[in-house]
């Protein structure tokens, strides 16, 4: 190439080794080192500094000789442990973002009994696997603060994000890969600044491209009004909310919150499939400043959306004591979408024969059925204090992930109300979106009735179970534990007893278009009213109910093939596993199965 000689490294008589530098050329503002092609002694330097050389011009003449044992002054060995000034500057900046460089910030977290954002990420991700994006970003406030102050006080602009592995000891790298995005409350109260919005945009776009689950640690105060280095007025053109919302139904979204989470932070949290919150959390779409600014009064942050409110109303799916528990549950939750486990154990399944009482009017704890039927320690219930008549949980059977939807006979006898229907319908969407099979455990007298029930818009809410159930693409099954009455029972089977891959009953099962007692009273009212003697009328009623029960008990219904079988409760796991083996595996997805998962 054409170049200019900028430095001559050797002189006549110098020994050189093969590969030693002899001349440095400059072309297009870049320096190129010319090295000896063989060892020997320099006999002639054919150029001068400043000379222009063309392709093919001679630079240095070397007489080949054996100089392996000759020291060459120009051959300096590189010290691999030496840190050059440019690298030292980078390392110093990176170290300034770490917790040990910010003792005051860490101390503030200790006073509230909380961990730092980096401590949570270290606990969440497999050791050494987290790769951070934008670690050197600082707040866009150069017009009001020095760069030195911003480096010291606003590391990463209050948002730590990147990719890592979660549960890598249980699942292969492909299934363990995850994205983690965490606000840092020690930086400007975890507010959403210009640079951390840009970081989120970048990460969310990569998540969509790479199809990675996301864990969002959302503690923070919402939008930040103090940024100055921006040409925008409102910031309403930021893409983060659209990009994150677009991930719903494409990848699992897990939200974790400890402490205060308001406004924009809460909006992102609310987009998540599941919200895990610590007991000290307060979640609200508007924080105290917004409430006061709207003329709605003055409130303490902890009174805006405490867990005493947000757990029973269904905003929070899983309540935990602290961040350690939140991270543990997040890892367990993600595991259901990462695959099957090779090792498992379960309780003696004969116990299932004892859990539904022989007395058909005696209530029982269906959670005992769930924990006995599932692999030991594998059950994770969502929203246990909301819609309490319906239980939704993830579990495993022989290591395989499974979604469980069960009626709770301890509440309204298992009748389905509006909240329970919403809870079940959304859980169906969640399981279907990510290819998790569903098991319905049915014990319901039907949907809830009465004027008070209708005030809750039950007609619309209840029907969500039908339209969602009819759109399921994953394998699903129904086991009737006791009551299977009316539309409620059909809703617990995807709309029909012949919609699931199997619909079976335990021997305690009983069936009817509506509750037996009510059916007798309505269907035989004239006959009963014709009996004058009260005791005789009651005896006749009980006989009619007994006949109705005999007609509607599981063994008889099975003879009409309205259900697939009546099984020994101890055989439930085997029935589930063998049917899953018979069902084809879900094909690899190229996109979403559903446009999104309802946030409610």
Total domains present in the chain: 4
Please check whether residue 80 lies inside any domain of the structure.
no
Distance from C-alpha of 3 to C-alpha of 5, rounded to nearest angstrom: 7
The torsion angles phi and psi of 479, rounded to 5 degrees, stand at -115, 120
Task: Say whether both 287 and 396 belong to one domain.
Answer: no
Q: Is there a contact between 22 and 34 (Cβ–Cβ < 8 Å)? A: yes
SS3 letters across 496-553: CCCCCCEEEECCCCEEECCCHHHHHHHHCHHHHHCCCCHHHHHHHHHHHHHHHHHHHE
Q: Is the pLDDT of residue 515 over 80?
A: no
In three-state secondary structure terms, 397 is strand
Task: Say whether both 329 and 397 belong to one domain.
Answer: no
For the residues 580-593, what does the mean pLDDT come to?
84
Distance from C-alpha of 73 to C-alpha of 231, rounded to nearest angstrom: 56
Please check whether residue 89 lies inside any domain of the structure.
no
Please check whether residue 27 lies inside any domain of the structure.
yes
User: Which of 442, 447, 384, 440 shows the shortest CA–CA distance to 412?
Assistant: 447
Q: Strand 282-284 relative to strand 260-262: parallel, antiparallel, unpaired?
A: parallel
Q: What is the pLDDT of residue 313?
A: 96
Q: What is the pLDDT of residue 69?
A: 80
For the residues 541-556, what does the mean pLDDT come to?
86
Q: Which of 336, 366, 399 is the last residue of a domain?
A: 336
Task: Say whether both 497 and 356 belong to one domain.
Answer: yes
Paired tokens of 179: 């994205």
For the residues 343-367, what does the mean pLDDT come to?
96
pLDDT tens column, 385-407:
999 999 999 999 999 999 999 99
Task: Say whether both 288 and 371 belong to one domain.
Answer: no
Q: Is there a contact between 524 and 500 (Cβ–Cβ < 8 Å)? A: no
Residue 102 DSSP label:
-
pLDDT tens column, 95-147:
999 999 999 999 999 999 999 999 999 999 999 999 999 999 999 999 999 99
Task: Say whether both 305 and 350 belong to one domain.
Answer: no
Q: What is the pLDDT of residue 77?
A: 64
Distance from C-alpha of 70 to C-alpha of 510, rounded to nearest angstrom: 98
CATH number for the domain including 20? Answer: 2.40.50.100
pLDDT tens column, 443-501:
999 998 888 889 999 899 999 999 999 999 999 999 999 999 999 999 999 999 999 99
Name, in order, each residue with C-beta under 8 angstroms of 593's C-beta and a sequence gap of 6 or more. Answer: 249, 432, 433, 473
Would you place residue 371 in the very low, low, confident or very high pLDDT band (cuts 50, 70, 90)? very high
Task: Say whether both 391 and 487 belong to one domain.
Answer: yes
User: Which of 21, 27, 57 shows the shortest CA–CA distance to 42?
Assistant: 21
% the chain with pLDDT above 90: 80
For the residues 168-181, what does the mean pLDDT come to?
95
Would you place residue 76 in the very low, low, confident or very high pLDDT band (cuts 50, 70, 90)? low
Distance from C-alpha of 124 to C-alpha of 122, rounded to nearest angstrom: 6
Q: Strand 318-320 relative to strand 380-382: parallel, antiparallel, unpaired?
A: unpaired
Instruction: Give the residue with greater pLDDT, 590 vs 326.
Output: 326
Task: Say whether both 110 and 150 belong to one domain.
Answer: yes
Task: Say whether both 249 and 393 belong to one domain.
Answer: no
In three-state secondary structure terms, 415 is coil
Please check whether residue 597 lies inside any domain of the structure.
no
Q: What is the pLDDT of residue 348?
A: 98
Q: Is the pLDDT of residue 521 over 90?
A: no
pLDDT tens column, 233-264:
888 888 999 999 999 999 999 999 999 999 99
Would you place residue 549 in the very low, low, confident or very high pLDDT band (cuts 50, 70, 90)? confident
Please check whether residue 81 lies inside any domain of the structure.
no
- Tokens 């409610």 sit on residue: 600
Name, in order, each residue with C-beta under 8 angstroms of 263's C-beta and a sequence gap of 6 or more. Answer: 221, 222, 223, 284, 285, 286, 287, 290
| Domain region containing 143 | 95-336
> What is the residue-averaged pLDDT of the chain?
93
Q: What is the pLDDT of residue 73?
A: 64
Distance from C-alpha of 289 to C-alpha of 299, rounded to nearest angstrom: 9
CA 123-161-151 angle, 5° bins: 105
For the residues 405-425, what does the mean pLDDT come to?
96
Helix H or strand E encompassing 465: helix 458-470
Instruction: Give the residue with greater pLDDT, 469 vs 300.
Output: 469
Cα-Cα-Cα-Cα dihedral sign, residues 7, 13, 17, 18: positive
Q: Which of 311, 336, 361 is the last residue of a domain?
A: 336
For the residues 286-311, what does the mean pLDDT come to?
90
Please check whether residue 414 lies inside any domain of the structure.
yes
Paired tokens of 193: 């600044």
Please check whether residue 588 lies inside any domain of the structure.
no
Q: Is the pLDDT of residue 75 over 60?
A: no
Name, in order, each residue with C-beta under 8 angstroms of 118's C-beta and a sequence gap of 6 or more. Answer: 98, 99, 160, 184
CATH number for the domain including 114? Answer: 3.90.226.10
Task: Say whether both 284 and 386 belong to one domain.
Answer: no
Q: What is the pLDDT of residue 71?
A: 75
Please check whether residue 69 lies inside any domain of the structure.
no
% the chain with pLDDT above 70: 99
In three-state secondary structure terms, 441 is strand
SS3 letters across 151-189: HHHCHHHHEEEEEEECCCCCCCHHHHEEEEEEECCCCHH
pLDDT tens column, 184-237:
999 999 999 999 999 999 999 999 999 999 999 999 988 888 888 887 788 888
* Helices 418-433 and 458-470, packing angle to 10 deg: 20
Q: Is there a contact between 551 and 499 (Cβ–Cβ < 8 Å)? A: no
Least confident of 12-16, 159-163, 374-378: 12-16
* Helices 516-523 and 534-552, packing angle to 10 deg: 120
Task: Say whether both 471 and 532 belong to one domain.
Answer: no
Paired tokens of 369: 């059925």
Would you place residue 522 in the very low, low, confident or very high pLDDT band (cuts 50, 70, 90)? confident
The torsion angles phi and psi of 36, rounded to 5 degrees, stand at -65, 140
Q: Strand 274-278 relative to strand 318-320: parallel, antiparallel, unpaired?
A: parallel
Task: Say whether both 390 and 493 belong to one domain.
Answer: yes
Task: Say whether both 292 and 329 belong to one domain.
Answer: yes
């Amino acid at each position: 190439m054409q170049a200019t000689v900028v430095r001559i490294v050797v002189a006549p008589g110098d020994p050189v080794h093969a590969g030693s530098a002899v001349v440095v050329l400059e072309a297009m503002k870049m320096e190129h080192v010319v090295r000896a092609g063989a060892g020997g002694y320099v006999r002639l330097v054919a150029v001068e500094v400043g000379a222009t050389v063309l392709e093919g011009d001679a630079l240095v003449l070397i007489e080949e000789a054996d100089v392996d044992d000759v020291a060459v002054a120009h051959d300096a060995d590189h010290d691999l442990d030496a840190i050059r000034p440019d690298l030292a500057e980078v390392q110093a900046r990176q170290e300034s973002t770490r917790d040990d460089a910010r003792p005051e910030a860490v101390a503030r977290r200790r006073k509230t009994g909380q961990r730092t954002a980096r401590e949570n990420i270290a606990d969440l991700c497999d050791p050494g696997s987290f790769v951070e994006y934008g670690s050197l970003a600082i707040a866009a406030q150069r017009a009001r603060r020095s760069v030195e102050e911003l480096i010291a006080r606003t590391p990463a602009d209050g948002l730590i994000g990147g990719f890592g592995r979660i549960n890598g000891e249980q699942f292969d790298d492909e299934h363990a890969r995850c994205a983690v995005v965490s606000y840092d409350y020690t930086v400007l109260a975890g507010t959403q600044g210009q640079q951390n919005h840009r970081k989120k945009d970048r990460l969310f776009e990569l998540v969509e491209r790479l199809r990675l689950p996301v864990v969002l640690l959302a503690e923070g105060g919402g939008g930040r009004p103090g940024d100055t280095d921006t040409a925008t007025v409102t910031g309403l053109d930021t893409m983060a909310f659209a990009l994150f919302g677009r991930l719903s139904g494409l990848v699992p979204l897990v939200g974790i919150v400890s402490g205060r989470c308001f406004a924009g932070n809460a909006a992102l949290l609310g987009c998540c499939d599941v919200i895990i919150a610590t007991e000290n959390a307060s979640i609200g779409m508007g924080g105290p400043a917004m409430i006061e600014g709207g003329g709605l009064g003055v409130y303490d942050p902890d009174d805006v959306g405490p867990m005493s409110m947000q757990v029973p109303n269904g905003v929070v799916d899983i309540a935990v004591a602290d961040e350690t528990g939140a991270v543990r549950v997040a890892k367990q939750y993600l595991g259901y979408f990462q695959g099957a486990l090779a090792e498992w154990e379960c309780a003696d399944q004969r116990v299932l024969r004892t859990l539904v009482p022989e007395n058909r009017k005696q209530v029982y704890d269906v959670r005992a059925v769930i924990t006995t039927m599932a692999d030991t320690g594998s059950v994770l219930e969502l929203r246990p204090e909301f819609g309490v008549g319906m239980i939704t949980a993830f579990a495993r059977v022989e290591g395989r992930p499974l979604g469980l939807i069960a009626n709770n006979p301890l509440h309204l006898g298992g009748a389905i109300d509006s909240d329970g229907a919403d809870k079940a319908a959304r859980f169906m969407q969640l399981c279907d979106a990510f290819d998790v099979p569903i098991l319905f455990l049915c014990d319901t007298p039907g949907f809830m009735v009465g004027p008070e029930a209708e005030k809750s818009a039950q007609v619309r809410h209840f029907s969500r179970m039908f339209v969602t159930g009819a759109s399921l693409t994953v394998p699903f099954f129904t086991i009737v534990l006791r009551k299977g009455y009316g539309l409620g029972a059909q809703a617990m089977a995807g709309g029909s007893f012949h919609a699931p891959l199997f619909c079976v009953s335990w021997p305690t099962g009983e069936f009817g278009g509506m509750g037996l007692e009510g059916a007798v009273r309505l269907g035989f009212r004239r006959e009963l009213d014709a009996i004058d003697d009260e005791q005789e009328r009651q005896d006749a009623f009980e006989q009619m109910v007994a006949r109705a029960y005999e007609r509607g008990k599981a063994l008889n219904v099975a003879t009409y093939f309205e259900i697939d079988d009546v099984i020994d409760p101890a055989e439930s796991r085997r029935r589930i596993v063998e049917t899953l083996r018979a069902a084809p595996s879900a094909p690899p997805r190229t996109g979403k199965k559903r446009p999104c998962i309802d946030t409610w």
